């Protein structure tokens, strides 16, 4: 099916392409939203508009890194391949988890080749460029008589945490690209796959086996006194920490939002995850193996469906079979004064009207119709 040419969309494609070209020359992190916008255009507007923006962005990168072949190839790969992956993934409606993982691998490979490969070719270490950068900052500090202690500690830790930091950067860039592309496409755009709410995001079940295997492998490396054991531990930790923190945060938010008026607790859960990421990661591990959030979601779904079924059938009771071997359980009964409200008899008493109405409600008299419409809230 042919799509009509839109001059307005073409101008937007030019502007985004020019913005991407400027980002490639002056602010590389801005290439992340540029790639997300290109993916959005390719999925929702058409590939031709995306190619216009991508051509300008790639051209800007070529001008910036034209003096170094390795940097040029790495930069072009980091721009073109994620954009193409976004376009293909969104148009084919691939799972967002798969798109994010693929882009993260691409970005990680581009970062490693662009930053680490020159040092390796020169006979040094992959992180020599970072050490030189830290030494330059230290020299500037010494000129002014102040050298931050954290800078010295970071230089000592860099060989251990270097690969893990690259992985976190790649994962973060991929996640932001995919999330922004979906937001640009809009919530009700049928051209792309719907995205689940954050509280419904779950870690891949393969991690249940992968975590013990990785832990056993690292333990064996330490027992065998392998020199690269600390580096491997830091790399695996940095790779898994964002995933586990996200799983833990989603679990915390879902638990606190099961009751109304939970805005404060949502903010608290986010702060806990930011300030104490290891605690949030521990909750993510518990949810991965125990399935806490899935159980809550299943229970809430059964209760919601039971109330809907009772409303449709005008049943006087709400029964739910939780699948625990006890059979159907009565969780609510209909108020006698209303035909469309339920309450849990253990926690609430039915409302019977105002004191004035109660006085006129004598045997043989017709109750006031206002009482019949006295509704209640679903529990």
Mean pLDDT per block of 10 residues along the chain (379 residues) reads: 76 94 90 94 92 94 90 92 94 92 95 91 88 85 74 84 92 94 83 86 88 92 88 90 92 85 83 91 92 87 85 82 77 65 48 44 44 38
User: Are 111 and 132 contained in the same domain?
Assistant: yes
What's phi and psi for 332, nearest 5 deg? -160, 150
Tell me whether residue 210 is in a domain: yes
pLDDT at 193: 87
379 located within any domain: no
Domain contains 138: yes
Q: Do 22 and 119 share a domain, yes or no?
A: yes
> Same domain, yes or no, for 64 and 21?
yes
Residue 101's pLDDT is what?
A: 93
Name which of 340, 339, 337, 342 is nearest 357 in CA terms.
337
One domain, residues 240 and 315: no
Report the pLDDT value the prediction gives residue 352, as an integer from 0 to 100: 44
297 found inside a domain: no
Query: Is residue 158 included in any domain, yes or no?
Result: yes
- Domain identity same for 102 and 222: no
Kindly state whether residue 185 falls inside one of the protein's structural domains.
yes
Residue 87 placed within a domain:
yes
How far is the CA of 180 from the CAs of 99, 158, 195, 275, in angstroms?
13, 31, 12, 25
Q: Which of 168, 193, 218 is the last residue of a domain?
A: 193
- Nearest Cα residue to 169 out of 231, 105, 73: 105
Based on the domain organization, do 272 and 182 belong to the same domain? no
In this structure, the number of other CB atoms found within 10 A of the CB of residue 310 comes to 19
Strands across the sheet with 317-320, in order? 317-320, 329-334, 342-343
In terms of domains, do 54 and 29 share one?
yes
Total domains, the chain: 3
Residue 329 φ/ψ, nearest 5 degrees: -115, 135
Tell me what pLDDT residue 217 has: 92
Q: Select from 268, 290, 312 the last residue of a domain.
A: 290
Q: Are residues 181 and 56 in the same domain?
A: yes
Same domain, 52 and 154: yes
> For residue 264, is it within any domain?
yes
Q: Which domain holds residue 321?
A: 302-372
Same domain, 278 and 324: no
Q: What does the pLDDT read at residue 3?
A: 60
pTM above threshold 0.75: yes
Q: Is residue 163 located within the same domain as residue 140?
A: yes
Together in a domain, 110 and 132: yes
What was the pLDDT predicted at 341? 57
If phi over 0 gives left and psi between -120 and 50 gives alpha, with beta otherwise, what is residue 83?
alpha
Among the three residues 193, 224, 250, which one is the final residue of a domain in this structure?
193
State residue 47's pLDDT score.
Answer: 92
- In this structure, the number of other CB atoms found within 10 A of the CB of residue 114 comes to 20
pLDDT value of residue 98? 92
The pLDDT assigned to 370 comes to: 39
């Amino acid at each position: 099916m042919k799509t009509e040419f839109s001059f307005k969309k073409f101008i937007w494609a030019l502007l985004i392409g020019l913005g991407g070209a400027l980002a490639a020359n002056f602010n590389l992190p801005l290439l992340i939203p540029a790639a997300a916008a290109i993916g959005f255009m390719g999925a929702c507007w058409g590939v031709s508009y995306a190619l216009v923006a991508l051509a300008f962005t790639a051209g800007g990168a070529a001008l910036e890194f034209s003096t170094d072949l390795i940097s040029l190839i790495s930069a072009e790969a980091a721009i073109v391949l994620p954009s193409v992956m976004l376009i293909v993934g969104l148009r084919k409606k691939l799972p967002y988890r798969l798109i994010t993982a693929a882009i993260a691998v691409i970005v990680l490979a581009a970062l490693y080749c662009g930053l680490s490969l020159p040092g390796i070719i020169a006979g040094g270490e992959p992180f020599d460029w970072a050490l030189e950068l830290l030494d330059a900052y230290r020299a500037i500090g010494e000129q002014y008589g102040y050298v931050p202690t954290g800078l010295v500690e970071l230089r000592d830790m860099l060989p251990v945490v270097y690969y893990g930091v690259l992985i976190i950067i790649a994962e973060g860039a991929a996640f932001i690209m995919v999330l922004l592309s979906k937001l640009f496409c809009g919530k009700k755009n049928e051209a792309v796959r719907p995205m689940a709410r954050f509280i419904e995001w779950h870690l891949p079940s393969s991690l249940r086996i992968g975590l013990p295997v990785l832990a056993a492998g690292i333990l064996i490396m330490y027992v065998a006194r392998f020199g690269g054991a600390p580096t491997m531990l830091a790399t695996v930790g940095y790779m898994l920490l964002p995933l586990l923190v996200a799983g833990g945060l989603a679990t915390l938010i879902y638990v606190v939002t099961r009751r109304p008026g939970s805005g404060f607790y949502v903010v608290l859960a986010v702060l806990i995850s930011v300030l104490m990421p290891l605690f949030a990661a521990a909750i993510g591990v518990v949810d991965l193996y125990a399935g806490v959030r899935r159980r809550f979601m299943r229970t809430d779904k059964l209760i919601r469906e039971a109330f809907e079924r009772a409303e449709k059938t005008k049943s006087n009771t709400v029964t739910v079979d939780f699948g625990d071997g006890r059979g159907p359980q009565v969780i609510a009964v209909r108020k006698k004064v209303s035909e469309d409200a339920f309450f849990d008899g253990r926690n609430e008493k039915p409302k019977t009207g105002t004191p004035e109405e109660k006085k006129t409600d004598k045997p043989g008299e017709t109750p006031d119709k206002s009482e019949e419409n006295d509704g209640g809230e679903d529990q």
